[in-house]
Chain A
Amino acid sequence: MKLVTAVIKPFKLDEVREALSAIGVQGITVTEVKGFGRQKGHTELYRGAEYVVDFLPKVKIEAAIKSDMLDRVIEAIEKAANTGKIGDGKIFVFELEQVVRIRTGETGADAL
């Protein structure tokens, strides 16, 4: 099993959710986050006063999946979240040791 975490542009969330549902991902967790990447933030000007935008708002999604789905999941997220512009985000993949469905006590791939 794998845990796929992706940080994406907030307005791309719906498209990514639809793309993941379409390939059979059963559930995702979404968190509003802030951060910076290679561009490090930038300076903006409002009413003559400068201010530094250190962290940009992003959305982080997490999906626990069977290992054989990994390539399709990565492809789906990559396609749906892509705008071709700076700040599209990143996908991180982790090994997932165990999953438990709390209601039934099922474990492993059955709990996904």
Chain B
Amino acid sequence: MARDNERNQERGAPQRRQFFRRRKSCPFSGEGAMKIDHKDAKTLFKFVSERGKMIPSRISAVSTKKQRELAIAIKRARYLAIMPYVND
């Protein structure tokens, strides 16, 4: 359906349809944002995959600065056995 619509549009006037997605803001920046804490397993688990690997910031929309902090927090949590190094 959507594909048909697109084709029709193109036939009428050559129009480039771009994939538009609103840029999500960093979950750790701004007011009322989450705190990065190496003891807070619940928050940290949102930023690792099921395997226990960290999720890249381009997917989770964490800012570069906060991603660095987050990485340190996750590594500390792993050392303290709050989070797994490998989850299988």
Question: Are A and B interaction partners?
Answer: no
